[in-house]
């Protein structure tokens, strides 16, 4: 695993959806440095099936060495975002990092997706990310090394990622478009990047699939926490990147990925929006409307897929299996 360096000591992180899962894992990693964590999430009272509240997360963060500020925030409500940001600035003196982690999912086709579900995904994933970023940006611009990190994928235009859940894909790519736009708009002032897992991640949502042994095909949230920590400790010149967790960590020198596995050695499911094999000889980046080919000899085995234009090859059966399983999850929510 990636060791802590202390670089986030005294920094204030505003993390949406941090009461459990990936958001909480990122918070706990930063807390080990002595960071201040604003837990901006909805769950104030214990949920009947999902673990954790903003208050139990706060206790864990403080036990790990950080300072915590639990705030009840539904990112669909702009005033709740504004109130939490104001409280964070009053409590900690500013905001250095925003992690847009909160997300909603409904893996249904166009005719099966109710309007309220469409509104939920667009409100949480796109509008919530946009408004939280907008509200934090005046404070981020005052920080020495400010970052925005969205938990969103590279924009893979393979139609298979649209056909079965068009609204969900649009909403997640909307988060990614915030990265593209804001990275350019605030270049030199605030770093704006995206992070996405290469494989399925074991969370409470995955447990709700109900299939015995599903967790064996997943990695722990620790891998995303380590990757996020690596991004957030980079200088603000590192911006406009769509980062895949394993790719970044390999570049940072991590060699043992079994430590992130729930069941080391067991086959892992690839995550959404990533086809099984990426042909790195065909990766392209777009800047200012111009497209340039990156030759394999000059390409670092990393990160940024600015346009999301990747030529894909390989067996997609595992990805299709994951999609079917998550569709089953949606029917239980």
**What residue has token string 């478009």?**
177
CA-CA distance, 83 to 72, in Å (whole number)? 10
CA-CA distance, 120 to 76, in Å (whole number)? 8
Task: Give catalytic residues, as residue numbers.
Answer: 168
Classify burial at 296, counting beta carbons within 10 Å of its beta carbon; exposed 0-12, middle 13-18, buried 19 or more. Answer: exposed
Residue 198 near residue 250 (C-beta atoms within 8 A): no
The number of residues in the chain equals 333
Both tokens of 235, joined, read 């200088």
83: alpha, beta or left, given left = phi > 0 and alpha = psi -120 to 50?
alpha
| 41 closest CA partner among 143, 139, 132, 133 | 132
Is beta strand 284-287 parallel, antiparallel or unpaired with respect to 290-293? antiparallel
DSSP state of 98: E
| 229 closest CA partner among 190, 195, 198 | 195
Q: What is the enclosing helix (H) or strand (E) of 290?
A: strand 290-293
Alpha helices in the chain (DSSP H): 21-31, 54-63, 78-92, 115-121, 129-140, 160-163, 166-185, 204-207, 222-232, 245-251, 317-332
């Amino acid at each position: 695993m990636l060791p802590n360096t202390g670089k986030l000591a005294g920094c204030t992180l505003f993390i949406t959806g941090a009461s459990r899962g990936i958001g909480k894992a990122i918070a706990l990693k930063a807390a080990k440095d002595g960071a201040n964590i604003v837990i901006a999430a909805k769950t104030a009272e214990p949920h009947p099936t999902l673990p954790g509240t903003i208050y139990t997360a706060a206790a864990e963060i403080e036990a790990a060495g950080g300072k915590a500020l639990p705030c009840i925030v539904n990112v669909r409500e702009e005033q709740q975002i504004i109130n939490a940001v104001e409280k964070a600035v009053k409590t900690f003196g500013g905001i250095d990092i925003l992690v847009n982690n909160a997300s909603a999912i409904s893996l249904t086709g166009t005719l099966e997706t109710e309007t309220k579900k469409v509104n939920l995904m667009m409100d949480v994933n796109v509008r919530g990310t946009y408004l939280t970023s907008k509200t934090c940006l005046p404070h981020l611009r005052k920080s020495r090394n400010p970052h925005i990190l969205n938990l969103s994928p590279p924009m893979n235009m393979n139609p298979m990622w649209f056909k079965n859940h068009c609204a969900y894909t649009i909403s997640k790519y909307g988060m990614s478009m915030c990265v593209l736009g804001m990275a350019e708009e605030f270049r030199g002032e605030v770093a704006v990047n995206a992070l996405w897992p290469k494989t399925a991640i074991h969370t409470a949502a995955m447990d709700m699939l109900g299939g015995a042994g599903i967790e064996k095909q997943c990695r722990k949230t620790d891998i995303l926490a380590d990757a996020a920590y690596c991004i957030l400790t980079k200088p603000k010149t590192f911006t406009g990147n769509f980062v895949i967790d394993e790719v970044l960590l390999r570049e940072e020198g991590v060699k043992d990925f079994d430590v992130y596995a729930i069941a080391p050695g067991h086959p892992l499911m690839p995550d959404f929006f990533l086809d099984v094999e990426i042909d790195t000889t065909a990766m392209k980046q777009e800047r200012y409307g111009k497209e340039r080919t990156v030759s394999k000899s000059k390409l670092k085995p990393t990160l940024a897929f600015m346009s999301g234009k990747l030529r894909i090859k390989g067996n997609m059966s595992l990805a299709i299996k994951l999609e079917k399983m998550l569709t089953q999850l949606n029917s239980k929510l």
